[in-house]
């Protein structure tokens, strides 16, 4: 049997992609400190993460963001014209709280803290980027990051993100991001680092 390689070429993610996108992101974020804080039970974390990312994708970012995927990664970007939608709306938050159960208050506080610290200037905001660890090193996450950064550069705007996983910071720094601040989530949660990348000439490479 011939194995067909999983392409790392970005393509638009639509609502029809909700199942594979949520599965990819559940694998990608299984060891993320913030998601482990929200979903501490290892036995149910996978199912919870799939529901979590399905909700974010189908209720929020598929409608207000620029969502792309490869065969093993997915990214949700919020363009400047949808900047007021970068933080989940009240109805989405309620659905996410139902998924998180007794951790819902921690999530609600985290959303509030994120909204308070969110940059107000026009930007391209990377809400979610994750690659299946089984495809690590194959360039899936990098391809999606380059695609979004090219859009930010074409608009002459900065790109911003937050990460709660320290080991991811060098990856983003490779693409020009710098840490601009950090905060500990309320309730004893993990540290989150805010990162920013200044726009580059649209004709130049993203890395």
pLDDT at 207: 55
Residue 204 in domain? no
Residue 141 and residue 133 in contact, taking contact as beta carbons nearer than 8 Å: no
pLDDT at 89: 82
Residue 163 in domain? yes
> What is the domain extent for residue 117?
11-197
CA–CA gap between residue 51 and residue 133 (Å, rounded): 19
Residue 159 in domain? yes
C-alpha 181: how far from its chain's center?
18
Show the 3-state SS of the chain. Answer: CCCCCCCCCCEECCHHHHHHHHHHHHHHCCCCHHHHHHCCCHHHHHHHHHHHHHHHHHHHHHHHCEEEECCCEEEEEECHHHHHHCCCCHHHHHHHHHHHHHHHHHHHHHHHHHHHHCCCCCCEEEEEEEECHHHCCCCHHHHHHHHHHHHHHHHCCCEEEEECCHHHHHHHHHCCCEEEEEEECCCCCCEEEEEEECCCCCCCCCC
pLDDT at 5: 57
pLDDT at 113: 76
pLDDT at 77: 97
Q: Kind of pairing, strands 73-78 and 124-131?
A: antiparallel
pLDDT at 203: 57
Mean pLDDT by 10 residues, the chain (207 residues): 67 97 97 94 96 96 95 96 82 90 87 74 95 93 97 96 95 97 88 95 60
Residue 164 in domain? yes
Length of the chain: 207
The CATH number of the domain holding residue 138 is 3.40.630.30
pLDDT at 206: 60
Residue 88 in domain? yes
pLDDT at 2: 46
pLDDT at 1: 44
Residue 69 in domain? yes
Residue 48 in domain? yes
The total number of structural domains in the chain stands at 1
Residue 124 in domain? yes
CA–CA gap between residue 173 and residue 178 (Å, rounded): 6
pLDDT at 87: 76
Report in angstroms the alpha-carbon separations of 186 from 14, 32, 36, 102, 109.
Answer: 34, 17, 15, 15, 6
pLDDT at 187: 82
Residue of 31, 29, 28, 21 whose CA lies nearest to 55: 21
């Amino acid at each position: 049997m011939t194995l067909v390689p999983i392409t790392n070429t970005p393509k638009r993610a639509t609502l029809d992609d909700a199942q594979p996108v949520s599965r990819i992101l559940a694998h990608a974020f299984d060891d993320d400190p913030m998601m482990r804080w929200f979903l501490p039970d290892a036995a149910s974390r996978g199912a919870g993460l799939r529901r979590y990312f399905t909700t974010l994708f189908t209720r929020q970012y598929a409608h207000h963001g620029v969502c792309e995927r490869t065969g093993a990664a997915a990214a949700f970007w919020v363009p400047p014209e949808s900047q007021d939608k970068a933080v989940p709306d009240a109805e989405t938050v309620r659905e996410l709280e139902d998924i998180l159960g007794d951790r819902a208050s921690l999530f609600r506080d985290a959303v509030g803290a994120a909204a308070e610290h969110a940059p107000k200037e026009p930007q391209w905001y990377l809400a979610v980027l994750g690659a299946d660890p089984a495809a690590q090193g194959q360039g899936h996450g990098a391809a999606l990051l380059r695609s979004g950064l090219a859009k930010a550069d074409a608009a002459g705007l900065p790109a911003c993100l937050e990460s709660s996983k320290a080991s991811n910071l060098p990856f983003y720094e490779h693409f020009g991001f710098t840490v601009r601040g950090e905060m500990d989530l309320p309730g004893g949660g993990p540290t989150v680092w805010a990162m920013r990348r200044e726009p580059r000439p649209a004709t130049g490479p993203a890395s």
